[in-house]
Amino acid sequence: MSDSEEESQDRQLKIVILGDGASGKTSVAMRFAQEAFGKQYKQTVGLDFFMRRIMLPGNLNVTLQVWDIGGQTIGGKMLDKYIYGAQGVLLVYDITNYQSFENLEDWYTMVKKMNKETDSQPFVALVGNKTDLEHMRTVKAEKHQRFCQENGTSSHFVSAKTGDSVFLCFQRVAADILGIKLNKAEMEQSQRVVKADIVNYSQEPVTRTVNPPRSSMCAVQ
């Protein structure tokens, strides 16, 4: 066994994803664990599991066990059992669906109720999904930030469709749970390149822009 293998340590974290049906919980989990995305909506009945091992600074291997909870489980008998023992909770809403944001209060209440009973505090993160649909946004960023401030949660905006910031979200949550600080370079490295479909609008010759706008975070592959 090499020195670096001997030095590496393994940790397991249980991360639970909660939020309304169709807010994109399965898609976020699938993007993180399998680098995949499906356009077709398939409701999660009960729950699904995903797993991915990541490395955090300090040669720390962390296996994230992601519990993707079906949106219909709210009010059901099993929900508190699913949340039990979680070190991290992602509260996911769809930025184009205001109701999905409002309903997070109910989801969060369930988490807090569990905490009272078990005396353990999971780390909670607010995740606004579907940022590729920014033009259809109905939940203002200020509302999102206010929720984070009032409830002491961390703040994330992701797109399961393009993959934008999904890995970074899980990485930051894992680091926060374990009390590890990620530096700017590590976070930038985790920013996924945004993949977009190429749309051929016209067959006419393309006119070139002088000094086209530059972005260091977005590229079409």
Ligand X SMILES: Nc1nc2c(ncn2[C@@H]2O[C@H](COP(=O)(O)OP(=O)(O)OP(=O)(O)O)[C@@H](O)[C@H]2O)c(=O)[nH]1
Contact residues for ligand X (CB under 6 A)?
19, 21-27, 38-39, 41-44, 70-71, 129-130, 132-133, 159-161
CB of 7 to ligand X, least distance (A): 37
Percentages of the chain per state (helix, strand, coil), in multiples of 5: 35, 20, 40
- Interatomic CA distance for residues 83 and 162, integer angstroms: 28
In the complex with ligand X, the residue whose CB is nearer, 55 or 218, is 218
Residue 118 parent element (H or E): helix 104-118
Return the structure tokens found at 194: 């945004």
In the complex with ligand X, the residue whose CB is nearer, 72 or 149, is 72
In the complex with ligand X, the residue whose CB is nearer, 92 or 173, is 92
CB of 164 to ligand X, least distance (A): 8
How many other C-beta atoms lie within 10 A of the C-beta of residue 178? 15
In the complex with ligand X, the residue whose CB is nearer, 38 or 85, is 38
CB of 140 to ligand X, least distance (A): 18
Strand, helix or coil for residue 46: coil
Quote the DSSP letter at residue 139. Answer: S
CB of 62 to ligand X, least distance (A): 23
